[in-house]
Copies of this chain bind each other. A is one copy, B any other.
Amino acid sequence: MSTKTDAGLHLTETLEDYLEIILMLSLQMPTVRVRDIARLKGVRMPTVTWALRRLAEKQLVLYAAREYVELTARGGEIARSVAGRHRFLSAFLVKILGVAPKVAEKDACGLEHHLSPQTLDRLAALVEYVETCPEVQKDFLTRFRYCFTQPKPSSAACRRSDCRTDRARRGEDPDLISLGTLPAGAQGTVARVHVSVKRRPMLIRSGLLPGTVVEKVSPPSLRRPALIRVDGQDLKLTAAEARSILVARIPDGEEKTGVGE
């Protein structure tokens, strides 16, 4: 069904948004009015008029000036698919990742237009997996929250725990070492940023994401911070921070630039 008319249909993000909004309104009220669309989208009415004419041209809505708006079959299909992605993403962010609902809502708006069907499928699979498979489900999320919501990383519980992060911090993991003990000149890929919940976002934003290739430039000395090279630029870390960041060491002679070809 609906194979022929799809041909030259390149829908912009904006127009997809309008479709989604029209669907949501049509489920909430008997008739969809320009006023409401404008309010929900945060634009002025003439902008909505403009959008409706574009959508009508593409046969996605039934629209005649001063009449009520209705989605066509094809328009409804697209709208439902966008709305579904939105709802799913928002739920994923809140329920799995633990993002604040308001932030999640906003992010979902931005992300929903950029997920390929394959990625969406795999992400849905992940959610199904953690929610229905017993061997992970029993405390997957609980543990996740526990590990990443503690204000202080090195609580007593961690100190004697069997968690790989904690073993690594005690020097017991052969593959993972802290940035503090990585020798100058050596490289590693970030595995765990084990600092306080407050500091995390700052470091994350400077590029210390899992998988990032970093190079130890110089160790922290008496009152000088450690220098770490990330993406060709030096970053300063306190001794405590360096100790709390775990990396998988890359053997010398396999240096990477951190940028794909």
Contact = CB atoms under 8 A, between A and B. Distances in A.
Given A83-B231, A128-B191, A132-B191, A119 B107 contact: yes
A205 interface: yes
A260 interface: yes
Interface stretch (A59-67, A89-97, A179-187): A89-97
A79 to B, nearest CB: 8
Q: For chain A, which range describes its interface: under 10, 10 to 19, 20 to 34, or 35 or more residues?
A: 35 or more
Contacts of A80: 206-207, 230-233
A47 to B, nearest CB: 19
Contact of A140 (B76, B106, B136, B193): B136
A148 interface: yes
Interface in A104-146: 104, 106-107, 110-111, 113-129, 131-137, 140, 143-144
Contacts of A104: 119
A132 B233 contact: no
A260 to B, nearest CB: 7
A187 B114 CA distance: 30
Contacts of A122: 93, 97-99, 148
A258 interface: yes
Nearest to A20: B259
A93 to B, nearest CB: 6
A24 interface: yes
A83 B259 contact: yes
A69 B26 CA distance: 51
A176 to B, nearest CB: 7
A27 B232 contact: yes
Given A27-B259, A209-B85, A148 B125 contact: yes
A252 interface: no
Interface stretch (A3-11, A49-57, A157-165, A215-223): A157-165
Contacts of A131: 191-192, 210
A35 B212 CA distance: 28
11 contacts: A23-B232, A27-B231, A27-B232, A28-B259, A80-B230, A84-B230, A85-B209, A103-B118, A124-B209, A129-B144, A133-B163
Interface of A: 23-24, 26-28, 76-77, 80-81, 83-85, 87-88, 91, 93, 95-100, 103-104, 106-107, 110-111, 113-129, 131-137, 140, 143-144, 147-148, 162-165, 168, 176, 191-193, 200-201, 204-207, 209-212, 230-233, 246, 257-261
